């Protein structure tokens, strides 16, 4: 760690809170742009005729066409109630039974069923009741298709019941007991809802007065999302579904061998198709663009945000699953999960409020002791980037919301507690501490920063590479204002001990929970937190200099002395000046370059731990694993440090020559 400049007393800097839209306003924005509401509005106008057939005019069947269709095995309750497109071809309808009002489009194009297998679009071996079948759709071997609009180019093949009940809302408005199994944080599921809105409704805090107006708007949304006819969108493919009931199937959805889809909305597009297959079940749920439900997974009363997935016998009930999150094998009940949460193995997650996501749940983890034999009324608040190790057990209530990027070691048992130290490691006790209960663990604040920065760098790269979401926007940086604020708050509490002693508990340092902190780890944590707080602020200074040079505004030499109207930079400048006493721009730039190389060394050192251990255990380890210095993340960190050094050298050369002051202001 750098020297004394990083070891001065800390202080805090208040920042303005941005004006936030009301919950009702947020929902109305979603309603105004809703693909679902727009489509269902069109369907209600004419029963889906324009949606499925475009502008094609309709006519009654000619007698020769009726005779041909009957000769090909088709029957109708009343042929006069079957209307067709102008260029309808009766040869494309075989062995079908028609009841009620039916509209059939033109069937001219070939439809691809499998590699090298194509057939002409049309209808065969199906019962059609009160439906609109769009141009070039294929309906084949469907035992009952009732009250549905099947759009152009859609395929419905080898299905059982495909029916829609009157006044279906397709899962919209369904109440889901997210974040608390016993109830109290319920939300109403809506097609275009995002994690942020769901999190605010589930935990409104000072927004409770907004909930009444919001819930009235929810009812309005549900009314607009109601239809007497279900929809199967353009290009959607529905294969081998036993039950498809009262559901909205968006464009290009791929359904293959699903067991059941009932009272649900599947938003989709050609670029982001929803995939449901292999025995999966979806009931009373919303599935957004690009999401996947496969491998006999079960989704009930839940919302899958864009590009999330549930597979491999995974079970999700009464939950919100954030974008790019992946769940498999385990069980997620009454949870609100943010983006990039991975539960890839057999595990249990109950009553967890985790809106910031970006975490991992290891095999055998049990995060779900949410009652004490009386009622399931306890809960867990998880922080961003939480890593739950193999076989860890949580007893509720638990609050780690202010401990982002904390690691729970394998086989750790956690009693009910609140922990507020970020980037920590919690593991079983290694030593005996007099007077400390046996169920306590050991907490090492800032451990991820000083011992495992590699994992944090890898997370940044991993999430950036895996992101497929088009609507949600992410800041992939782990070291950013919110985490720095948590670090500085932790420093204040760690520095506030009245006297040094061998170890500490919650009695001496608030926020330790049911854990022990050693004096050695306390001092190391202060150094680590302050190091990265300073590094964050110096990165902001470098960006500020680049902005000033690009715009020709400002006095770079007095950058640390002059206030600005940039709220973010003012926070960073306050850290540099008041926390660390930095007033000289060249000195601050040189410190940034030095810190960047320190981080690169720490990253390689962290990665080397695995290599050193592996070589000792596995005979041919070095033959199949790249060495630490060739690791992609390590190399990128060194390259980033080199880039910072080059940028700093360039700034220092300009400062030594004297930069012209185009304007004295350096406002954002």
Instruction: Tell me the pLDDT tens digit for each residue of 609-620.
Output: 999 999 999 999
Residue 10 banded pLDDT, cuts 50, 70, 90: very low
Arithmetic mean of pLDDT, 9-31:
65
Rounded Cα gap, residues 147 and 227, in angstroms: 10
- Residue 76's SS3 state is strand
DSSP state of 238: E
- Long-range pairs for 237-241: beta carbons < 8 A, 24 or more residues apart: 237/154, 237/155, 238/154, 238/155, 238/156, 238/157, 238/159, 238/162, 239/155, 239/157, 239/158, 239/159, 240/157, 240/158, 240/159, 241/159, 241/160, 241/162
Q: What pairing do the DSSP bridges indicate for beta strands 127-129 and 58-60? A: unpaired
507-564 confidence digits (pLDDT tens): 999 999 999 999 999 999 999 999 999 999 999 999 999 999 888 888 888 899 999 9
451's CB contacts (< 8 A; 6+ apart) are 425, 606
DSSP state of 382: P
Percentage of the chain modeled with pLDDT above 90: 89
Rounded Cα gap, residues 455 and 479, in angstroms: 13
Q: What pairing do the DSSP bridges indicate for beta strands 417-418 and 398-399? A: parallel
Looking at per-residue confidence, does 195 or 9 come out higher?
Answer: 195
334-380 confidence digits (pLDDT tens): 999 999 999 999 999 999 999 999 999 999 999 987 666 778 889 99
Strand partners, 417: 398
Rounded Cα gap, residues 63 and 71, in angstroms: 12
Q: What is the pLDDT of residue 49?
A: 96
Q: What pairing do the DSSP bridges indicate for beta strands 407-408 and 387-388? A: parallel
Arithmetic mean of pLDDT, 490-516:
97
Rounded Cα gap, residues 57 and 492, in angstroms: 74
Omega before residue 397 within 30° of 0, cis: yes
Q: What is Dmax (Cα atoms) for the chain?
A: 100
Q: What is the pLDDT of residue 44?
A: 96
Arithmetic mean of pLDDT, 25-50:
96
Residue with tokens 């007893």: 395
Percentage of the chain modeled with pLDDT above 70: 95
Q: What is the pLDDT of residue 5?
A: 41
Strand partners, 163: 146, 245
Rounded Cα gap, residues 661 and 552, in angstroms: 8
Q: What is the pLDDT of residue 1?
A: 42
Q: What is the pLDDT of residue 657?
A: 80
Residue with tokens 């929902």: 27
Arithmetic mean of pLDDT, 139-160:
98
Arithmetic mean of pLDDT, 153-182:
97
Residue 55 banded pLDDT, cuts 50, 70, 90: confident
On whether the CB atoms of residues 354 and 387 are closer than 8 A, the answer is: no
**What are the DSSP calls for 247-301, one per residue?**
-EE-TT-EEES-SEEES-EE---SSS--EEETT-EEES-EE-TT-EE-TT-EEES
Between helices 632-657 and 453-466, what is the axis angle to 10°? 100
284-308 confidence digits (pLDDT tens): 999 999 999 999 999 999 999 999 9
For residue 590, pLDDT over 60 is answered with yes
On whether the CB atoms of residues 140 and 240 are closer than 8 A, the answer is: no
Buried b (16+ CB within 10 A) or exposed e, 33-49: ebbbbebbebbeeebbb
**pTM for the complete prediction?**
0.93
522's CB contacts (< 8 A; 6+ apart) are 445, 494, 497, 504, 509
Q: What is the pLDDT of residue 14?
A: 33
Q: What is the pLDDT of residue 371?
A: 65
For residue 29, pLDDT over 50 is answered with yes
| Cβ burial, residue 155 (10 Å; 0-12/13-18/19+) | buried
Q: What percent of the chain is helix, strand and coil (3-state, nearest 5)? A: 35, 25, 45
222-255 confidence digits (pLDDT tens): 999 999 999 999 999 999 999 999 999 999 999 9
Arithmetic mean of pLDDT, 104-111:
94
Domain residues of the chain, as ranges? Answer: 451-657
Q: What is the pLDDT of residue 659?
A: 60
Q: What is the pLDDT of residue 370?
A: 67
- Of the ranges 2-6, 459-463, 478-482, 593-597, which one carries the lowest mean pLDDT score? 2-6
Cα angle, residue 350 at apex, residues 348 and 352 outer, rounded to 5°: 120
379-432 confidence digits (pLDDT tens): 999 999 999 999 999 999 999 999 999 999 999 999 999 999 999 999 999 899
Buried b (16+ CB within 10 A) or exposed e, 212-221: eebbebbeeb
What does each C-alpha distance from 324 to 43, 304, 308, 468, 549 come to in angstroms?
Answer: 32, 10, 5, 7, 38
For residue 668, pLDDT over 70 is answered with no
On whether the CB atoms of residues 153 and 137 are closer than 8 A, the answer is: yes
211-230 confidence digits (pLDDT tens): 999 999 999 999 999 999 99
């Amino acid at each position: 760690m750098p020297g004394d400049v990083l070891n001065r007393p800390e202080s805090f800097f208040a920042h303005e809170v941005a004006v936030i839209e009301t919950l009702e306003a947020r929902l109305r924005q979603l309603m105004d742009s809703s693909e679902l509401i727009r489509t269902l509005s069109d369907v209600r106008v004419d029963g889906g005729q324009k949606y499925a057939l475009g502008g094609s005019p309709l006519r009654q069947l000619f007698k020769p066409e009726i005779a041909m269709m009957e000769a090909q095995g088709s029957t109708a309750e009343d042929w006069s109630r079957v209307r067709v497109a102008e260029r309808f071809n009766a040869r494309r309808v075989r062995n079908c039974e028609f009841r009620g009002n039916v509209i059939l489009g033109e069937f001219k194009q070939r439809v691809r069923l499998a590699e090298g297998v194509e057939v002409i679009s049309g209808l065969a071996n199906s019962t059609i009741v009160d439906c609109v079948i769009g141009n070039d759709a294929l309906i084949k071997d469907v035992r009952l298709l009732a009250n549905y609009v099947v759009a152009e180019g859609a395929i419905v093949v080898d299905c059982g019941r495909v029916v829609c009940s009157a006044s279906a809302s397709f899962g919209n408005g369904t109440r889901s007991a997210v974040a608390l199994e016993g109830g109290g944080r319920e939300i109403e599921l809506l097609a275009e809802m995002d994690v942020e809105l769901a999190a605010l409704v589930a935990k409104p805090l000072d927004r409770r007065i907004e909930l009444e107006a919001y819930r009235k708007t929810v009812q309005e949304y549900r009314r607009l999302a109601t239809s007497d006819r279900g929809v199967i969108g353009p290009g959607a493919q529905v294969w081998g579904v036993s039950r498809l009931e009262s559901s909205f199937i968006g464009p290009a959805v791929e359904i293959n061998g699903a067991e059941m889809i009932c009272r649900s909305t599947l938003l989709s597009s050609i670029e982001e198709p929803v995939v449901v297959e292999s025995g999966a079940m979806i009931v009373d749920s919303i599935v957004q663009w690009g999401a996947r439900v496969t491998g006999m997974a079960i989704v009930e009363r839940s919302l899958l945000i864009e590009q999330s997935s549930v597979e491999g016998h995974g079970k999700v009930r009464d939950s919100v699953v954030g974008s790019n999150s992946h769940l498999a094998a385990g069980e997620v009940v009454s949870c609100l999960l943010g983006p990039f949460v991975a539960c890839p193995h057999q595990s249990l997650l109950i009553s967890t409020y985790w809106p910031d996501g970006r975490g991992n749940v290891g095999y055998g983890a049990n995060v779900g002791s949410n009652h004490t034999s009386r009622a399931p009324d306890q809960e867990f608040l998880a922080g961003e980037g939480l890593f739950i190790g193999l076989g860890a057990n949580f007893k509720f209530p638990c609050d780690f919301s202010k401990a982002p990027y904390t690691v729970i070691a394998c086989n750790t048992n956690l009693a009910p507690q609140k922990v507020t130290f970020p980037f920590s490691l919690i593991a079983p006790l290694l030593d005996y501490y007099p007077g400390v209960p046996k169920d306590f663990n050991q907490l090492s604040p800032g451990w991820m920063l000083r011992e495992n920065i590699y994992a944090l760098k890898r997370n940044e790269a991993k999430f950036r590479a895996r992101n497929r979401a088009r609507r949600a926007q992410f800041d992939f940086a782990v070291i950013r204002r919110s985490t720095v604020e948590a670090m500085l708050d932790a420093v204040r509490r760690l520095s506030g001990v009245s006297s040094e002693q061998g170890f500490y508990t919650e009695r001496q340092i608030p926020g330790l929970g049911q854990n022990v902190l050693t004096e050695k780890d306390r001092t190391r944590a202060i150094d680590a937190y302050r190091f990265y707080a300073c590094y964050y602020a110096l990165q902001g200074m470098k960006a500020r200099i680049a902005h000033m040079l690009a715009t020709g505004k400002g006095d770079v030499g007095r950058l640390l002395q002059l206030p600005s109207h940039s709220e973010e930079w003012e926070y960073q400048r306050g850290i540099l000046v008041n926390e660390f006493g930095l007033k000289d721009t060249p000195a601050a730039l040189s410190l940034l370059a030095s810190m960047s190389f320190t981080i690169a060394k720490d990253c390689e050192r962290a990665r080397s731990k695995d290599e050193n251990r592996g070589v000792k255990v596995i005979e041919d380890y070095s033959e199949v694993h790249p060495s630490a210095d060739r690791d992609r993340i390590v190399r990128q960190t060194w390259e980033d440090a080199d880039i910072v050094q080059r940028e700093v050298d360039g700034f220092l050369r300009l400062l030594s020559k004297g930069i012209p002051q185009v304007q004295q202001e350096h406002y954002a």
